[in-house]
Amino acid sequence: MGSKKVFLIFLFFLGIISPTNAILIEGEEFILKIDGAKINSTKLLELCTPESCVIKEHFVILRSYYNESVAIEVGRGKNYIQFILPFKYVSFDKGVQVISDIDPKKYNWKESVKTDLTFLKAIGILNISDSEIAKISGIAEGGYSIVYCRDKWNKLKGLGCYCGKICQYSEEVRRCIRECKKNFLNCTEPCGDKKEEEWENCWNVCKNALGICTEECKKIEGEKECEENIVCLESFGRPTAFLLPEKSLSSFFSNLSLPAGPSTPFHGDIYIILTAAVIFGVIVVFLFIRKIFK
């Protein structure tokens, strides 16, 4: 399935897009996926309200702390987070394109990811270190998956990448299979001395014996040995369209000392109060000094 068909699955109508200043882009650049972070989805559901979250069976949608026009999809039961810029689909003679007010190539993915991961950590949804946040945000870019696998964060092109486990047979089974292959070589050695019409029959007898031997080996009891392996799919199914929540979850935690994004207006009240306090303090000091030197 090509990128155009993949995008047809991602029907995220996130906000109203003005056609006058919109940009046209093709590809997966509007989405960034982080897979492997430790998420406390139970805590997230406790904090969510009907106004601040869109709750689905397998994921929850939040407004970004950094930019409230951006959606954050948090997995339920699956440790992934997706940052989704607002976009719509438009059809042309040449195919499907994406229309948006935000250019994903100019969007500050690094600062967005850093701010939102820090916020999710601060409210107890995300179990992650500051150094991991720095690592992830440092390589953040639209159209990529950042996957935790083999004790490190890996940046991979495409959204269908995850860290799975490839399981091999136990050492006992592998030792048995090696013995089967050794017997196969010993069996086929005299086949070369036979006539052409007899050679093929000799080879097939040995090959059949190898198959039977191998299958018997697989019946041996033993714990499989597994190792992490990064798997990338060409396409993967996603839910149908959804809307952004009415309000930002971050508005309920305005007392947190976190960096404010460009679309987090609730911090403006704090700045006004602080500025007023500073001006009041200056006036008090001025009046005190004036009284001393009267």
pTM of the predicted model as reported, rounded to 2 decimal places: 0.65
Across residues 36-60, what is the average pLDDT? Answer: 92
pLDDT of residue 77: 84
| 248 CB neighbour count, 10 Å cutoff | 21
Give the ranges where the chain is alpha helix by DSSP (H): 3-9, 41-47, 109-122, 130-138, 171-188, 196-217, 267-292
Residue found under tokens 């009267």:
294
Residues 6 or more apart whose Cβ sits within 8 Å of residue 224: 167, 168, 169, 170
- C-alpha 136/C-alpha 286 separation (Å) is 49
Residues 6 or more apart whose Cβ sits within 8 Å of residue 66: 111, 112, 115, 116, 261, 262, 263, 264
| 105 CB neighbour count, 10 Å cutoff | 13
- C-alpha 146/C-alpha 135 separation (Å) is 10
Across residues 160-187, what is the average pLDDT? Answer: 89
pLDDT above 70: residue 235: no
Across residues 100-123, what is the average pLDDT? Answer: 94
Residue found under tokens 């010993």:
186
- C-alpha 191/C-alpha 177 separation (Å) is 22
Closest by alpha carbon to 259, among 244, 246, 270? 270
Which sequence spans correspond to the domains of the chain?
Answer: 3-162+229-263, 170-223
- Reported as a single tens digit per residue, the pLDDT across 51-104 is 999 999 899 999 999 999 999 999 998 889 999 998 877 776 666 677 788 889
pLDDT of residue 272: 42
Distances (CA, A) of 212 to 118, 207, 209: 57, 9, 5
Residue found under tokens 């309200």:
49
- C-alpha 219/C-alpha 176 separation (Å) is 10
Closest by alpha carbon to 234, among 157, 167, 288? 157
pLDDT of residue 233: 83
pLDDT of residue 250: 80
